[in-house]
Amino acid sequence: MNTKNFKCFQIVYEEKNLSAAAKKLFLTPQGLGKIIRNLEEECGATFFIRTKEGFVATESGRLFYKKIIDINKSLNDLMIEVEHLEKKEKRFKVGFASGTIRSIDIAKLEEFMEQHKEIERSWTECENSYVKNQILNGDISFGFTIGKPQEKNLKSVLIDSKEVVLYVYKGHEFWDRASIDLQEIRNEKIISMNEKHHIYNDLLDACNLYDFIPNIVALVTEGESIYRLIKNRIGIGISPKFYPDTDEIRAIKINGGYTWDIYGVYREDTADKEIADELIDFF
């Protein structure tokens, strides 16, 4: 007897309507009807009387419903416990600061994860500071962060570095320039990633060195939005060089060698240091 069919019975019993129950279960009425008939045949009982108004439970059907409610609960508890144990086995967790998934070699990391079954495969981006704190607290084993952490008990290795550029639209006064100095954006409308991204704070710090606050007219959560806003001439954007030049938008070098750096970060005083070292070498 397939215990998954108990849930089908439960929904039919509660809905008292085959079509309504089938919709909830993402099944066809014909397929659900066959499941109920098979259950009845296996148990040698009639669970429902089929009427024009719907499915009316028999005494056997009411007893079966009462028993499977407890069985379904026990099965759900069992699956949760098994999943919990599986997650314990997958002790090595990886964290990603916002924007890092765009830059790292996903296929290469996936290959490494395949080779190490103890790694929990999760691809969730969080704030840079949150990822760093999770590593410090031992909640995750390895993190891809933006910028080099300063904490002494964290080991960090540069994984990738992208040039930070100024994206401008065709017709803007900078369009034909090969490069600009940062102070030249003083009076420009700037589009930037929001406060949760490391590049936003880097931009403010860099502009502060030239004694001005950038006129930021838009803060976004991902690079595609920057690109669209520039295309519609809302302003010009500062971003790592993710996008190729087109006839409408091009990247201009910002003098000063500004970069967006991704580091692999982990603690050296944990049992998972060996895996972390392997991951660094793999990249």
Is the pLDDT at 149 greater than 80, yes or no?
Answer: yes
Q: What is the pTM of this model?
A: 0.65
Position 186 confidence tier, pLDDT thresholds 50, 70, 90: very high
What is the CATH code for 90-283? 3.40.190.290
Most confident region among 75-84, 90-99, 202-211, 265-274 by mean pLDDT = 202-211
What's the mean pLDDT when you consider all of the chain? Answer: 89
SS3 223: helix
Residue 141 DSSP SS3:
coil
Domain extents for the chain? Answer: 4-82, 90-283
Average pLDDT value for residue range 48-75 = 88
Identity of the residue numbered 178: A
> What is 4-82's CATH number?
1.10.10.10
Question: In sequence order, which ranges of the chain are alpha helices (DSSP H)?
Answer: 4-15, 18-25, 29-43, 59-89, 100-103, 106-115, 128-137, 198-209, 223-231, 273-282
CA distance 100 to 75: 39
